[in-house]
Amino acid sequence: MIYEADHSHETFVSLTEWELRGACNVGRWMYEKSHGDGRSDAHGFADDGASGLEQQMLGAIAERVVAKALGIYWPGAIDQGAEPDLPHDIEVRLMGRDHYGLRLRDKDPTGRRYVAVVIEPTTKRGPYRIPGWTPGTIEIDPEWGMAPNGRPPMIAVPQSALYPLHELAEIITLERHKAELAQLEGATHDG
């Protein structure tokens, strides 16, 4: 079976009480804003009220977890529109079960990086498991396609096909160094 937990290069992250509460507040604000604007889920999620709020809160927790794991800024954006969840073109995908795959959809930008965070019903307070990440340009295996619970089709990248999170951290470090070097070179040419 291709959909099973892969623990070969997982990362675990714990949040402090303060970090957890902050993420929950952001999730609550996202939920209130989206419902206040009359928006509905684009991927077929039927909100019964409580579960929709919980999903928004868990999504915000997942973003906070990835930012902490990578040592990058977490904007805690309430209405980011088409912007990525995190700097460095990172999208965070919540996985509600330990064996799930990382969801990708047709409209997902291929230039982004997608990081999976597992938060099962028994691990809502952590520690949180990050099985890995994938670039949006991953070669898709047709076997990964699915449309669970009558919702729109998607791709679920198996955990065994994900890259270790430390590789994304290394890429981000290189990008930071290149940006700093370009900034220094620009300052040298201006002066």
Whether the pLDDT of residue 44 is over 80: the answer is no
Q: Is 54 contained in some domain?
A: yes
Whether the pLDDT of residue 179 is over 60: the answer is yes
Q: Is 40 contained in some domain?
A: yes
Give the model confidence (pLDDT) of 112-159 as tens digits: 999 999 999 888 999 999 999 999 999 999 899 998 878 888 999 999
pLDDT at 43: 45
Q: Is 148 contained in some domain?
A: yes
Could you tell me the pLDDT band of residue 80, with boundaries at 50, 70 and 90? confident
Whether the pLDDT of residue 13 is over 60: the answer is yes
Q: Is 73 contained in some domain?
A: yes
pLDDT at 191: 56
Q: Is 33 contained in some domain?
A: yes
Q: Which residue has the higher pLDDT, 78 or 22?
A: 22
pLDDT at 152: 85
pTM of the entire structure?
A: 0.88
Q: Is 2 contained in some domain?
A: no
Residues recorded for the chain = 191
Give the range of the structural domain holding residue 123, as residue numbers without chain letter: 11-190
On whether the CB atoms of residues 66 and 92 are closer than 8 A, the answer is: yes
- Residue 122 and residue 57: Cα distance in Å, rounded? 15
Q: Is 78 contained in some domain?
A: yes
Q: Is 113 contained in some domain?
A: yes
pLDDT at 40: 58
Could you tell me the pLDDT band of residue 70, with boundaries at 50, 70 and 90? very high
Query: In DSSP terms, which residues pair with 103 in a beta bridge?
Result: 156
Percent of the chain with pLDDT over 90: 66
Count of the separate structural domains present in the chain: 1
Whether the pLDDT of residue 50 is over 90: the answer is no
- Residue 3 and residue 56: Cα distance in Å, rounded? 24
